[in-house]
Structure 1
Amino acid sequence: MAERITLAILGATGAVGTQMLRCLEEQDVPVGTLKLLASARSAGEELVFRGQTVRIEEARPEAFEGCDVVLGAVEDDLAKALLPEAVKRGAVVVDNSHAFRLNDSVPLVVPEINGADISWHEGIISNPNCATIIGLVPTWPLHQLGRVTRMVVSTYQAASGAGVAGMKALEAELAALGTGTELPRPHAFVAQLANNLIPQIGGESEAGYTSEELKLLYEGRKIMHEPDLRVSCTCVRVPVLRSHCESITLEFERPVSLEDARAALAAAPGVKLVDDLDAADAHNRFPMPLDTSNQDLIWVGRLRRDLSNPDLERGLSFWCAGDQIRKGAATNAVQIVKLLCEQGLVVRA
C-alpha cells in the first residue's frame, strides 16, 4: 500500500459523500489527512472519521491545496467548476458526477471489470452511473463466457438515486399515508412516489429515451471496451428507500450454458448468487432491496434462458439488486482510490 495520503471529499455532507467517509474507514484506505468540503452553510460543522472529529471547510479552489486525492460527490455543475481546480493543484480526482464520464481522456471505471484503465488517467477518473455499475458487475462474467452483443434492461431504481432529498420525500409521503394526512406536493420527483411507479428518470435525451436510460448504453460501451454493444433500457423510479433492482436479458455471440453461467456468477468478484425458487425462505430465493441495502455485493438471481431468443443457447435473463449509495456510488469510488494507492498511481508523472 502507498504512503499515507491527503484526501478530500467534495460534497461531504450529502448521501454519497457521507457514505464515502464510511467506506474509506471500511476499506482501510491509507488516509493521513482528511479534508471535508461542502457548501458555505455547512462550513464549521464536524463529522467523525476513525474516531476523530474533522471540521468541514467551504468548497473553493484553494481548499484543494496539498491534496493527493479528491473524491467528488456533487452535481455536474459544481464538479465542472471545482474539480479541474483540484487537478491543477496536483490532485487525482475520482468523480461520481456525470460531468466527465464520456470524455475520451477520462477513464470510466468499475474495478471488477476494467480496473486497469486507471493507469491512463490524466488527473480525473470517473465513477459510472449507479444503474450502470449494478447492471454491469454481474453482466461482465457472463460477457467473458460468450461476449454480450445486446442488452435489454429494465431498472427499478430506489428513491436514494435522487439523494437525501429523494429519500426524505418518500419517507414524508409514506408518513402522510400512514396518518391519513395530506401528502406533501412532489418536489424530488415529477409525481408522488409512494404507492406509485414513475417511468421517467432524467429528461428526454434521444429517440424517446431519457438521459438515465442512455447512460447504460454509452457508459457500458466504454467500460466493457465494446463500442458496438447494443442496449435498450427503461428506467423506473420505485417506492423503495435504497437498493436498485434490474431485470436484464443478454444476447451472446457464442453459446453459453446455464451451468457455466451459474458457475461464473458464483465465482465472480462483487457478486452473490441467490437463485433458488424452491427455497423455504424467500430471502434465499432471489435478490430483494431489503436484503441488498447497506452492503456492497450485487445479488443475482432468476437466472434462466431467454425463451424469446431463436437460439436458446445465446440468450439469458436474470434479476439483480445492489445498494445504490454504496456499490452504485461511494464504494466503487473508494475502491478506485484504493487501487490507485496500491499501484502507486496517486501522484501523476
Structure 2
Amino acid sequence: MTDSHDNTPAVPSHGNHTPAVLEEPIPNPGLPAHQWRPTDVDERAEKRAERQVAAMFGLSMVCALLFVVAYFTLEIGDNFDTFMGLGASTVALGTTLGLALLLIGIGIIQWARKLMGDHEIVEMRHAAASSQEDRDATLEALALGGEESGIGRRPLVRNTLIGSVALLGLPAVVLLRDLGPAPGDKLASTIWEKGMRVVRDVVGTPIKASELEIGDLVNAAPEALFPTEENGYPEIEGVPLQVEKAKGAIIVVKMEPGDITPGEGRENWTVNGIICYSKICTHVGCPISLYERTTHHVLCPCHQSTFDLADSAKVVFGPAHRPLPQLPLAVDDEGYLIAQSDFTEPIGASYWEREKQ
C-alpha cells in the first residue's frame, strides 16, 4: 500500500520503464525544534517591543524636525568652530539627518526581529561544487604549471617579480602631481588695482554707471587685459593672459540701493545700487552668471551653489562654503566704473591654505 503522506518526488515513467525515485543530494538532517521568541509567548514582551519600535520612529521624526529648525536658524558660514573645524550649521544638519535615518533603520530591524512572522523554511538547490574529477584535474594542472615555470626553484626571479609589481604603485603616486600645482598664494591677488576701469568681457569697452538699469547683470573684466595706447597697460599674452582672465573675471549687477545689505566695512563699495563680485564659484571654481533678479540670487550651474548678491553674496544653498569675494567699486571723473582696490580676500575655489591668507 502506498502511503498517501509520502512527499518523496518521483521521476515520470518513460515507456515501459518503472518510475525512479529522485534521491536528495544529501540526507535531510531535519530542523531543530523551533525556538519561540519572548515576544511570541509573552504579550507584555510583545507590547514592550512594539513601544520600542514606535519610540525609534518617533525619535526619527523629532530629528527630522530638528533638521528643519537648524536649517532656518543656523546661518551658513558661522565663524565659530564646533567639531573638527566644521561650522554649527554643518554639524547640526549632518547630525540630525543622520540620526533620523539611523533611527528608522534600527526601528525596522527591531520590528523584523521581534514582531514580524518567524518560521523556518527549506529550499532545495543543486550542488554548487564541481565534481571530484574536475577538482583533481585543476589542481594537477596548477601544480604542473608552477613546476614548469620554475618559480619555486628560482627565488631571484620570484622576488624581483614581486618587487616590480609592488613598485608599480609609485608611478601612480607620482602621476598625482599632474592634477595641478598647489595654488599657494596665487589666488590671494589678481590684476585688479586702484583706479582700474571695469570693462565688458570680450569687447573690452568701459562701463558707465549711468548706462546700467535695474536688473542688469554684466560679465566684466579688468581693463588691463585690453591694453591700448590710451590706457597704457602692457601687453599680456599666452598662459599669463589666460590666468589673469580667469582670476579677474567679475559680474556687475544693478539693483535698488535699498535692497542691498552691505557687509561690515563695505558701506561704500557700491555705486548707486551697482555691486560687483568675482565670477568664480567658491566651491570648485566654476563660472557663475545665472541670475534671478527678483531674489538677487545667482546660481552656479555646476553644483547649484546659490549666492545672495544683495547680502554680501552669502551662500543660501548648495555645497559652497564661502561667499563670493566682492570687488569695491567707485566711479571716475567721466562716470565710468572703476575698482577701489584689488579683492580683499582670495578668489576662486576653496583650498586648504586659504584660511592662512
Q: What TM-score do the two structures reach when normalised by structure 2?
A: 0.18
**Higher strand proportion:** 1
Q: What TM-score do the two structures reach when normalised by structure 1?
A: 0.18
- Structure of higher RCO (CA pairs closer than 8 Å, 6+ residues apart): 1
Q: Which has the larger radius of gyration?
A: 2
